Amino acid sequence: MIIFAIRSLLATPLPGSALSPPPPGAPSSPPLLNLLFFLQDDTGYNDFLTSTDYAGVYSDANALWRQRGILVDRTYADMVCAPSRASFIAGRPSHLVQPKFFSRSQEVTLMQKLSSTGYLSYMVGKWHCGVQAAHLPTSRGFNRFFGLLENPLAYDSVCGHKTNKYNVYYMENTAFENSASSALDPFMRRHYADAEDYYSPTELQEEAFRFLNDHVARYGSAGKTAGVPLFLYFATNAIRDSGD
């Protein structure tokens, strides 16, 4: 499993946000960057760097993190996916995040901490950190979620049939799709792909762009609500169990 982060998602500051330059004479403060975090399933650290099998395929990703990212090469992660995800979200070593699947309600998450500083947090992809109401993404600090709650099938299996085992959901506790959505009354719906030959990587990518566009349209455009920094956690299930 490879974790890879990019510090700034948007090339220019959101108008009216903390990223905008302060007026002349105003005291400067540290900028609140837009944050994008990728977590890719079943990918080794070296796959992005010098592997003869994958390095060429990931040449664009290599170039991206070298230009605008942070390479973390001194850390510890669990060898399987759920503890690694829980460790990132809780900010603690996986063996301290107990019991399994990050089900401790008293854990304070990264998203909750970001929210206290003014961020809105979104997640697209594979959650796999609890399926009870108190453990869902929107109960853990995310404002919107689209993806898989549990361990899915291989990413290269079709995901458009209603009898499949993908269990794709959309959730929100901030009003985007449903005007009545709130932290006390979050909105959730089951999602099915439009086409029978639709694959999860394509759908997750499209939803991630939808979340970003919605955020900029609402919080980053001139004449609308003052800009708000965002955090997007993109946790694809590729390349899990693909056989490639």
CB 43 within 8 A of CB 238: no
List phi, psi (to 5°) of 168: -85, 135
Least confident range of 72-76, 88-92, 177-181, 212-216: 72-76
**What percentage of the chain exceeds 70 in pLDDT?**
57
Note the pLDDT tens digit of each residue in 34-65.
888 888 777 766 666 666 665 566 677 677 77
34 is written with which tokens? Answer: 């837009």
Cα 178 to Cα 41: distance, rounded to the nearest angstrom: 31
Average pLDDT value for residue range 95-115: 75
Q: What pLDDT is recorded for position 20?
A: 44
pLDDT band at 30 (very low <50, low <70, confident <90, very high): low
- Residue 110, classed as helix, strand or coil, is helix
Average pLDDT value for residue range 175-204: 82
Does 9 have pLDDT greater than 90?
A: no
pTM of the model: 0.77
